Every structure is written in structure tokens, then in C-alpha cells.
């Protein structure tokens, strides 16, 4: 066995984590508050839609995914006080009014023959934007100072990817005709325009750029 | 999507046929009353010893299946129908309560999955029996505290009674899957009842009037969920009152006694109602 | 063969006596029943028991649940009427055609024996083209014989059989139940 008292580098040769990151504590807290708000709106919508979809398999998936996003919201809620925000409700806000508009449009469909629209909104627009914003945050924050946020992002991303795949599978199994392809595309375009105008789930700069 | 979704709009595929409690109760046929008492079974309790045990178990399993769908829908609606707030008025609930309801939605979704698999195992097709929508009706209250009392304490309490009956049935029959699955679902239901009890206490801590109203509502729902005598301590009821698991779920002795009394009253009311419906049917037939 | 139904008009359920009689006539032809059949429906109970009395006429006493559409309470189901009447008539035919002389009276049959005989009847009905759910009857058989591979083998054998005697049916059923009791449970 090697000498246990021999000095070793604090960062092993394979540990390439870097100290610098794009976000300070305040900016991180703002983003986390936006994430929590968006995850809340998503799990509320999924829960509300359960009763409105006639497809039994979709009904069960929505109930399962509802909890995934509630759990993400809870993780972000718990992260906020660690980012010097002792009143998490203060930062639990939409990034901007356009995102509120987006959520209103997302949750508009109710009729039992609008399952495609409901799923398109969640799985072809909202969740892809979670994936992109979370990925951007994970890859740009300080790998050392902000490790707790990275851990939550990683956990959330596992669900986001799994749920996105579930949703896409459901959509592909529901979309049978050219008319349904058009319906899905039209609804996606309408919602995508809104979320692009909002700048993403954390507003402009959700995935950098601004 | 509107807030507060009406029971008659619950979305189902073409296999399902929904009926209301009123329609169900309007059936003048019942095993509880009749002219020929000798033909009536000594006990209506669901046990493997009954000649029709397999079919009765299949019917109850389908009832569990649709009940789980409605419980899933109810929990989901509570996530959506109310704003997030302090829980100090009827239009908002605490964030943590919504998280519990989302967790419950996941649990109920798993229960639907389990029920589908068990139904296949028992040779029942989806939608083979009529779906009574009474469970979701209790989840439609516009006061979240009443909804918790009605759904988490009354409905999930009924689920404890039903799962205990089915677990015992599977155990005695030697059915490895039924006993196993019911045991797991029972564990979840005890959790859901505790959620309801905890939130009821916390939200109404400084509002005794609201608490009283919620408990009264629970009592009404408990009576409805006795399904006109389907659940009670009496052997005339197919489903017994699971006293031990109710204790685990946080019901006090007095509360269990109250439910027992209410359930027996529901049984007697059902008998009287069936006798009246029977007489009415004969009168109508004679007049026609 | 003539088939009669009582009552002719129903008070508590929306059944059609003529429809029941038509189904009965088709079944008597299909099953080669050699004597008249009288069907008595007890519409006062939702239970689904079916009892048979043999004589110059075969009398089938049916509780209304046996002919009911479980999706639409109090309405008649053609499929349930066919299968439940069919298995009663097959049991009657078994007793009348011989080979079932040692079978106990219906009221003395054990739950296991009832399950085995029903499996035998429904398996034959399925081969005659009636719509049945095999898994439902397998589940019933398992409840009475144990949940085991051995009981499943017994079920498969009975389900696929024609021309069994009571002794043969009873032997397969007993072996299935004993195998389960010896602990030959499924993994």
C-alpha cells in the first residue's frame, strides 16, 4: 500500500473542474427562482390535464410526470435559501410577462380531442426549453462553488430527458394523419414563438447569447 | 383549461361507461332485501369461500381500477385548481400541499398501472364494468380543505378498507400477485390518509369553523363512500372496516367508531331505499 | 327444441324474453339438446347464479346478473346470456348423455369440482365459437385448485378436452389441486 502520509495534489489528475463560472450568487438565485416558477406551472398543468385526456396510457404518464416536475420545483425551492434568498417566494417569479403569456397559451387546450396539442406544448416546446436552459446552466456555472446547483440540474435533467422521450413516443403514436401533423406543427409554432419572445424559461440569456 | 373540472366531463375512451351514484342506487335489485330470505347468502363479505368469489373479486378489482383513475384525476386537479399561497382562504393552498398532491398523483398513476395488470391476471377487460363516478364527485369541492377531507380522509380511507379486504382475499386464495400488490397499494393509501389528516390540522389550526365544516363534509362523504352499505362492520357488507390500518393512518378510535356508525346507517338506508325502489318498480309495471 | 322463458315481461331489469328464447333455441341446436328447455329468470337479485333441473324438460333457473351487461347495469348482454346459458345446458347434456352418472348432485359439488366442470364447459363453448375470456376461467380455476404450474397444466388439459367422463374430469382436477398443495408454485 502507498504511504498514506505522502502529500497528494488536492485535485487529482483526472479532476478537471474549474473555479470560474458565468453566474454570481445573485444571478444564480434569479435563475433558480425562474426555474422553480416554470416547473410549478408545468406540474400544475400536467396535473390539471389528467382528467381531460381520454387516452389511458397518456393519463397515467401525465400523473407520473406531474410528480417529476413538482420534485424539481421542490429542489429549487430548497436551493433558494442557500443562495441568500430567505424568502423563496420573492424569487419564485416568471422570467417576464411573455413567459406568463406562454404558460397561458400552453394550458389553453382542454377538450378531450386536444391531447396532441397538450402533449406538443409540454414535450415539443416547454421541456426542450428546460433541457436547453438546464444544460447551459450546468455547463457554465462554477463547477466548484456552485456544485449543489449542478447536482440538482443533473437530477432534473435525467427526468427531463426521460419525460421528453415518453412524450415524444406518445405523440408519435397519436399523430396518424397529415392533418394531425399540421395541427401539431401549428400549435408548436404558436408556442415556440412565445417562448422565443420570452427568451426561454429564465428569460433572455437562458442559453447564453444575451 | 378551466379551473374546477366537472365530473360529467371526465375524459374516457370508448370502453368505459360511466354511471352516477344516483343511477347505481336506483337499481331495485339487491341482495340485501327480498321476499325469499332463504335464497340470500348468510354473508355478503367478499371471501374465497363464496361460490361466486372469482367474479365478485374481478368486479371489485375493476372498481378499484376506476377508483384509482378518479383519485389520480382528483389529486392532479388539486395541483391545478388553486393558487399557491398560505392556505388561509379557499382559493389557495400551500406550495408543500401541492407537492404532496403531485406525489399522490404519481402514486395513483402507479395504482392504475397495478390495477390494469391485476385485472388482466384475473381475466377482466378494461371497461367491462360500469364506472361509478362518485369518487371524483367528492374531489370537486371548491374548498381545498373540504377536498382533502373528502378525498384523502374519506376516499383514501375507503381504499384502506377495500385493499385490506382484497389483500385478505388474495392471501386466503393463495394468489401470489393479488396479495403482494394490494399490500403495496395499502402502504401508499395509509400515507395519503396521513397527508390529508396532517394538512387538515395545519391549515385549519386557527380556523375552528373551517375545520368543523371539513369534518362534517368528511362524514357526509364517508356515508356516500359506504356505497349504501357496501363497506361496514356488518357481514352484510362485502367490504369490512379495516380498523388496524385506519389506526396506522392516524384515525383516532372515536373517528373509526364514527365511520362504523355512519357505514351501518348507510347499509340500513340502502335496504330501505331498495325496498322502496322495488315497490315502485312493481307499481309502475302494474300500471303499465 | 322449444325454449320457454319466464317471466315474459320484466319489472326490475330491461331484459327481453323473446331475445333470451332465441338465444336458447340457437344453443339447443348448437349443443344438440334433445328436450325442451324452460328458463326462469329471477330478476329480483343482481347475483349471477345459474342452476339446472333435469326432467322431461330442462329447467334453467338464472339470477339476473348472469344475463346482465356489467357495463350497463340492468340491461341484457347477448354474450353473457349465451355463455351462461350455454354452460348450464352443456352441464345438463353431460349428465343426460352418460359418463357423468357418478357426478354428485349440483348442490353437493365442491367449489373445486364446480370450477373444473365449468372450465370443461366453457372450453367447449369457445371451440363452438362463443365469445369467452379464457383468462377469466383460468383465474377461477386457480382460485379453486391453487396458483401453480401444476394447476395450470390441469386447466389447459380440461379446457382442450371433449368427451370426458366425470371420472376423468375429476382425476385431472384432483391432480391439479394436489400438485398445488404440494407446493409446486410458480416462480
Q: What does the domain layout of chain C look like in residue ranges?
A: 1-97, 104-187
Specify the pTM. 0.91
**Residue B242, all three cell numbers:** 379495516
Dump pLDDT digits (tens) for C46-84: 889 999 999 999 999 999 999 999 999 999 999 999 999
Domain that residue B231 falls in: 46-282
- C16: number of Cβ within 10 Å: 15
Does any CB of chain C come closer than 8 Å to the CB of residue B279? no
Nearest CA in chain B to A42: B80
Query: Given an 8 Å threshold on Cβ–Cβ distance, is C140 in contact with B282?
Result: no
Instruction: Find the helix or strand (DSSP H, E) in which A181 lies.
Output: helix A178-198
Where residue B195 sits, what CATH number does that domain have? 1.10.620.20
Q: How many domains does chain B have?
A: 1
What are A41-89's pLDDT values in tens digits?
A: 999 999 999 999 999 999 999 999 999 999 999 999 999 999 998 899 9
B254 to B71, B202, B235, B243: CA distances (angstroms):
26, 20, 22, 11
Do A64 and B109 count as a contact with CB atoms less than 8 A apart?
yes
- Is a pLDDT exceeding 60 seen at residue B272? yes
Q: Do B79 and A48 touch (CB under 8 A)?
A: yes
Residue B76 has its nearest CB partner, among A47, A69, A112, at A47
Cα–Cα distance, B157 to B173 (Å, whole number): 25
The C-alpha cell that represents B175 in the structure block: 394468489
At residue A168, the pLDDT reads 98
Q: Helical H runs in chain B?
A: 21-25, 53-81, 95-122, 134-138, 144-147, 156-173, 176-203, 208-225, 243-248, 253-287
Q: Does B175 touch chain C (CB under 8 A)?
A: yes
For residue A104, the enclosing domain spans 25-198
For residue A169, give the CATH number of its domain: 1.20.1260.10
Judge whether B6 lies within some domain: no
Could you tell me if residue B12 is inside a domain? Answer: no
Domain count, chain A: 1
Nearest Cβ partner for B105 among A53, A66, A112: A66
Question: Using a CB-CB distance cutoff of 8 angstroms, which residues of chain A are in contact with residue B73?
Answer: 50-51, 59
For residue B7, the chain A residues in CB contact (below 8 A) are none
B86 belongs to a structural domain: yes
Interval B59-96: pLDDT, tens = 999 999 999 999 999 999 999 999 999 998 999 999 99
User: Contact A48/B73, CB-based, under 8 Å?
Assistant: no
ipTM above 0.90, yes or no: yes
Reduce the secondary structure of C23-92 to three states and give it as a string. HHHHHHHHCCCCCCEEEEEECCCCCCCEEEECCCCEEEEEEHHHHEECCEEEEECHHHHHHHHHHHHHHH
B30 and C46 in contact by Cβ < 8 A? yes
Asked if B109 and A63 come within 8 Å (Cβ–Cβ), the reply is: yes
Amino acid at each position: 500500500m502507498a504511504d498514506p502520509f505522502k502529500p497528494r495534489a488536492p485535485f487529482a489528475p483526472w479532476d478537471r473542474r474549474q473555479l470560474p463560472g458565468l453566474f454570481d450568487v445573485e444571478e444564480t438565485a434569479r435563475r433558480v427562482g425562474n426555474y422553480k416558477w416554470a416547473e410549478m406551472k408545468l406540474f400544475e398543468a400536467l396535473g390539471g390535464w389528467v382528467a381531460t385526456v381520454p387516452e389511458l396510457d397518456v393519463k397515467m404518464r401525465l400523473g407520473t410526470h406531474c410528480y417529476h416536475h413538482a420534485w424539481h420545483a421542490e429542489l429549487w425551492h430548497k436551493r433558494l435559501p442557500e443562495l441568500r434568498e430567505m424568502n423563496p417566494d420573492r424569487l419564485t417569479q416568471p422570467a417576464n410577462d411573455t413567459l406568463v403569456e406562454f404558460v397561458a397559451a400552453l394550458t389553453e387546450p382542454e377538450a378531450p380531442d386536444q391531447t396532441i396539442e397538450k402533449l406538443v406544448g409540454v414535450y415539443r416546446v416547454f421541456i426542450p426549453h428546460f433541457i436547453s436552459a438546464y444544460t447551459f446552466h450546468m455547463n457554465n456555472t462554477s463547477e466548484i462553488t456552485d456544485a449543489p446547483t449542478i447536482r440538482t440540474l443533473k437530477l432534473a435533467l435525467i427526468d427531463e430527458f426521460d419525460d421528453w422521450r415518453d412524450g415524444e413516443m406518445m405523440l408519435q403514436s397519436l399523430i396518424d394523419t397529415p392533418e394531425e401533423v399540421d395541427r401539431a406543427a401549428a400549435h408548436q409554432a404558436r408556442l415556440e414563438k412565445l417562448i422565443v419572445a420570452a427568451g426561454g424559461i429564465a428569460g433572455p440569456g437562458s442559453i447564453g447569447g444575451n | 383549461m378551466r379551473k374546477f373540472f366537472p365530473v360529467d366531463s371526465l375524459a374516457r375512451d370508448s370502453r368505459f361507461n360511466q354511471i352516477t351514484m344516483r343511477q347505481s342506487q336506483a337499481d331495485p335489485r339487491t341482495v340485501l332485501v327480498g321476499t325469499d330470505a332463504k335464497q340470500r347468502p348468510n354473508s355478503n363479505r367478499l371471501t374465497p369461500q363464496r361460490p361466486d368469489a372469482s367474479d365478485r373479486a374481478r368486479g371489485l378489482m375493476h372498481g378499484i381500477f376506476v377508483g384509482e383513475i378518479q383519485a389520480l384525476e382528483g389529486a392532479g386537479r388539486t395541483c391545478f385548481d388553486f393558487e399557491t399561497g398560505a392556505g388561509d382562504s379557499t382559493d389557495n393552498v400551500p406550495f408543500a400541499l401541492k407537492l404532496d398532491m403531485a406525489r399522490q398523483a404519481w402514486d395513483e398513476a402507479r395504482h392504475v398501472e397495478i390495477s390494469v395488470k391485476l385485472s388482466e391476471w384475473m381475466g377482466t377487460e378494461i371497461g367491462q364494468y360500469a364506472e361509478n363516478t362518485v369518487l371524483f364527485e367528492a374531489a370537486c369541492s371548491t374548498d381545498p380543505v373540504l377536498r382533502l377531507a373528502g378525498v384523502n380522509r374519506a376516499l383514501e380511507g375507503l381504499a384502506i378498507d377495500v385493499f385490506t379486504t382484497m389483500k385478505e382475499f388474495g392471501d386466503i386464495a393463495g394468489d401470489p400477485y393479488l396479495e403482494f400488490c394490494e399490500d403495496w397499494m395499502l402502504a401508499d393509501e395509509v400515507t395519503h390518509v396521513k397527508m390529508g389528516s396532517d394538512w387538515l390540522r395545519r391549515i385549519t389550526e386557527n380556523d375552528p369553523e373551517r375545520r368543523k365544516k371539513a369534518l362534517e363534509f368528511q362524514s357526509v362523504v364517508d356515508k356516500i363512500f359506504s356505497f349504501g352499505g357496501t363497506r361496514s362492520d356488518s357481514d352484510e357488507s362485502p367490504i369490512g372496516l379495516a380498523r388496524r390500518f385506519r389506526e396506522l393512518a392516524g384515525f383516532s378510535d372515536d373517528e373509526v367508531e364514527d365511520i362504523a356508525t355512519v357505514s351501518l346507517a348507510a347499509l340500513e338506508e340502502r335496504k330501505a331505499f331498495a325496498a322502496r325502489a322495488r315497490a315502485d318498480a312493481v307499481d309502475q309495471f302494474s300500471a303499465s | 327444441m322449444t325454449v320457454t322463458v319466464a317471466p315474459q315481461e320484466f319489472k326490475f331489469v330491461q331484459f327481453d324474453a323473446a331475445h333470451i328464447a332465441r338465444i336458447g333455441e340457437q344453443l339447443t341446436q348448437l349443443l344438440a339438446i334433445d328436450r325442451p328447455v324452460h328458463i326462469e329468470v329471477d330478476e329480483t337479485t343482481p347475483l349471477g347464479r345459474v342452476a339446472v333441473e333435469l326432467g322431461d324438460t330442462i329447467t334453467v333457473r338464472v339470477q339476473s346478473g348472469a344475463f346482465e351487461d356489467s357495463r350497463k347495469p340492468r340491461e341484457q348482454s347477448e354474450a353473457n346470456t349465451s355463455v351462461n346459458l350455454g354452460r348450464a345446458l352443456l352441464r345438463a347434456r353431460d349428465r343426460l348423455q352418460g359418463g357423468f352418472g357418478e357426478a354428485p348432485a349440483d348442490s353437493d359439488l365442491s367449489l373445486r369440482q364446480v370450477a373444473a366442470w365449468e372450465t370443461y364447459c366453457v372450453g367447449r363453448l369457445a371451440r363452438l365459437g362463443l365469445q369467452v375470456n379464457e383468462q377469466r376461467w383460468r383465474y377461477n380455476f386457480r382460485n379453486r385448485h391453487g396458483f401453480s404450474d401444476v394447476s395450470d397444466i390441469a386447466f389447459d388439459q380440461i379446457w382442450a378436452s371433449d368427451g370426458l367422463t366425470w371420472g376423468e374430469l375429476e382425476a385431472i382436477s384432483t391432480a391439479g389441486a394436489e400438485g398445488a398443495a404440494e407446493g409446486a408454485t410458480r416462480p
